[in-house]
Each structure stands twice: as structure tokens, then as C-alpha cells.
Amino acid sequence: MTETPLHPSYRKITFFIALTLFAQESTWNFYDNQVPVLLREHVASAALVGALMGMDNLLGIFIQPWIGNRSDNTRTRWGRRIPYLAVGMPVAAVLFVFLPWTTSAAVLIAVMVGYALVANTMRPLAESLVPDFIPPARRSRANAIVKIAAALTIIVASLISLLLVDDHPHAAFAVPSVILLLVTAVVVGKVRDNESPGYRDAAEAPRVPFRSVVTDLLTDPDRRRLLLLLTVMLFGGAWFASRSLITPYGMEALGLTRGEAGGLTLPSGIAYVAAAYPAALLAERYGRLKTMALGMAVFAAAMAAGAVVQTATATVIVFCVAAVGAAGFLINAAVALWNLAPSSQVLGTYTGLYAVTWYLGGFGGPALVGGLVDLTGWKLMLLHIAVLAALAILVVARLGRLQRRATTPILK
């Protein structure tokens, strides 16, 4: 099969979308790295620090579907996403730069809440520009480029921490804020999503309330969308459990120090970035569902292998293989959901619904696996994760059977 490259106009808009996500995720990753330290200056309880750091995910469950639907129903000469980004990204930058200047727990938490509220509204809007501009057949490779840009911000946040935090803690927070402001100026100046096919289609149709979108999703006899969201939640649980519990696993099961255990997943981050674009190309050639199922199977098999061979070196290799498999799912799942959306009128809402199920998996997966670890011990942790991923594979297999009977091959 001959590969058809992205049209130059698609490459251009993909670059601007990736730049937008890069700027947003630069603040988010630095937030995750350094705000816990700010909280520890005022809060002694580690549990409370963890709860406050998880607040942004909880807010995202409610905010992201709402803002996605609100933007779907917005009509301006700048489009339906860009007006919100033009206002929200600078506000988020200002709130972010104030974080290290707070002098009390109450003020710090207030600024954190304000930043989380605003920044959560920005996430689905930038991501929704992908299906707005890019045709269904090429969304996977565009989404891969966007995901790679977001993943690279982990390196950016680490470099800012390494080079600036110790000597210039306030200036360190200014760097991601400046990046966000500069990117806002570029994107607002260059992108008008009223020119996108998605906006033009939606502008000619009536607005769709959020309740109607959810009602349609729940009552439609075609269960593919619900099954896909269930798959996202289950695999999201497996993915987040593998990430959030790896440090105590390395210490308890492998006998590593805290620092050694914390570094186990670093090579896998590089493996994920390397696998992202090939995962998109595979999906375009062989089908998104097949690529997602294969990726989850590789992830599950790697986790099961890690439960058998428990050494530090084997664990690093296992997580690299698992990250390659996860890329097959993570690059294509949102695209599959966009392509299942009933119309371009609700693409932002569906981006928000994807985020909700992903966050629910991120909350429930580590808790479930952690509870099983309490019952069976740390040495079986990777096996529990493999079983959770296997459940996701069973659901996507059912989805595949429905897809083969469907008249619209929109997941291929």
C-alpha cells in the first residue's frame, strides 16, 4: 500500500495544534513537578498534598465535556475554539506565574484552583482542532504528532527544574508562562478555525445541547461508542497503574532505592515517542481497531512477562515494550471516537467525553491494582495490570464484531 503524506495545509495546522498542546503541557508538567514542593511548605500531610494535586483531574471530569460542548455551539468570525484559547491561555499563564509568590496555604490553593479551572478548559479545545481540520483518514498521524509534542514537555519541565529551580525558583515558573503567552500570540495570529471543515459543517446546523449528546450516546442501539469509552477507561486504568505505582513496586519487589525505582520508566518514555508515529501509520494501513487491540495485547504481554522475570533490567525492557504497545492504543483511541461521533457538531463534546473516561480510569485503575497488591503482595502487581489490560482487549474485541456488522467502516 502506497503511503499518502499529509497535505501541506494539514501539516501546517498540525504544527500549530502541536505547538498549542506543547505550550499547555509545559505548564502542566512543571506544575506536577514543582507545586507539590510549594504545598509542602504549608501542608504537612502527604495525603493532603496528593489530594490537592489530584484536584485538577477531578475538575477535568466536569469541566472538559462542558467546555467541549460549549465550544461546539459557539459561532464567531474566529471560529469556535480559538476565541476561548485566545482568552484562556494568557489567563492560565498569569495564574501559573503567581504560584511561587503565594505566602499562605489558602492563597496557594486558591491560585491552584484558578489555574486548574482555566487550564482544564484549554485542553479539549486544542485537541478538538485535530478533527475540525484533519479528515478522518489522516487523523491518526496528526494526533501522533500532537502526542509527541506533549510528551516532549516532560523533558522541558525536567530541564527547567534542573537549570533554574534551585537558584531562581520564581523565574522558573515564569518560563512555562512565557512559552504559553508566546504560543498564544502565534496561534491566534495564524489559526482561524472558522475556516475548518468541521466548523463550516457545524455552522449550517442547529446547536446541540450537552444533554442531547449524552442521551443519544446512552440510547443509541449502536453500542460502539459506549464500548469504545469503556475500553478507554479500562486501558486507562492499566496505563495509569503501571505509571503511578512503579516506584513503590521497584522498591518493594525489586529492592531498589527510591531514586533507582523512580527512573525505571524513563527509557519507556523515549520508546513511546519513537513508536507514536509508526502507530499512526499502522492504523491507517491495517485499521484502528486492529492496531489498538494489537497494542493493548503487546502491553498486556509485556506486563505479564515482567511479573515472571523480576529484575531491574528486565523491568526497564518490559516497560519499553509496553510503551510501544500502549502507543498503538493511545494514538488511535481518540481518533476512533472522533470518527464515531454522529457529526462534526459535537467533536469538542466527544473530546471531553474521552477525557472523562480516561481520567476515571486514571483514578480507578491505580486504586484497584493497589487494593489487589494489598491482598497479594507487590510481586504480582504487573500481573494485575496485565489482567486489567486484557479486560480492555475483550471489550475492544466485542467492538470489533459490531464494527464488522456496521455499514459505516468509520473505525478503519
Most confident residue range from 34-43, 57-66, 276-285: 276-285
Rounded to a whole number, what is the largest CA-CA distance in the chain?
62
Residue 1 in this model has a pLDDT that exceeds 50: no
Residue 403 in this model has a pLDDT that exceeds 50: yes
- Are the beta carbons of 209 and 69 closer than 8 angstroms? yes
The CATH class that applies to domain 212-412 reads: mainly alpha
The mean pLDDT value for 168-185 works out to 91
Residue 294 in this model has a pLDDT that exceeds 90: yes
Give the model's confidence band at 407: pLDDT under 50 very low, under 70 low, under 90 confident, else very high: low
Q: How far is CA 223 from CA 111, 144, 167, 330, in A?
A: 41, 26, 55, 21
Please state, rounded to an integer, the average pLDDT across all residues of the chain: 87
Q: CA gyration radius for the chain?
A: 21
- pLDDT tens by residue, 304-360: 999 998 899 999 999 999 999 999 999 999 999 999 998 888 999 999 999 999 988
Q: What pLDDT sits at residue 4?
A: 46
Do 1-207 and 212-412 agree at the fold level? Answer: yes
Mapping DSSP onto H, E and C, the string for the chain reads: CCCCCCCHHHHHHHHHHHHHHHHHHHHHHHHHHHHHHHHHCCCCCHHHHHHHHCHHHHHHHHHHHHHHHHHHCCCCCCCCCHHHHHHHHHHHHHHHHHHHHCCCHHHHHHHHHHHHHHHHHHHHHHHHHHHHHCCHHHHHHHHHHHHHHHHHHHHHHHHHHHHHHCCCHHHHHHHHHHHHHHHHHHHHHHCCHHHCHHHHHHHCCCCCCHHHHHHHHHHCCCCHHHHHHHHHHHHHHHHHHHHHCHHHHHHHHCCCCHHHHHCCCHHHHHHHHHHHHHHHHHHHHHCHHHHHHHHHHHHHHHHHHHHHCCCHHHHHHHHHHHHHHHHHHHCCHHHHHHHHCCCHHHHHHHHHHHHHHHHHHHHHHHHHHHHHHHHHCHHHHHHHHHHHHHHHHHHHHHHHHHHHHCCCCCCC
Q: What pLDDT sits at residue 248?
A: 84
User: Domain map of the chain by residue range?
Assistant: 1-207, 212-412
- pLDDT tens by residue, 44-74: 766 677 677 777 878 888 899 999 999 999 9
Instruction: Report angle CA 341, 350, 204 to the nearest 5 degrees.
Output: 60
The CATH class that applies to domain 1-207 reads: mainly alpha
Q: What pLDDT sits at residue 409?
A: 52
pTM score: 0.86
CA distance 197 to 74: 15
Residue 411 in this model has a pLDDT that exceeds 70: no
Q: What pLDDT sits at residue 343?
A: 86
List of residues 6+ apart from 136 with CB closer than 8 A: 335, 338, 339, 410
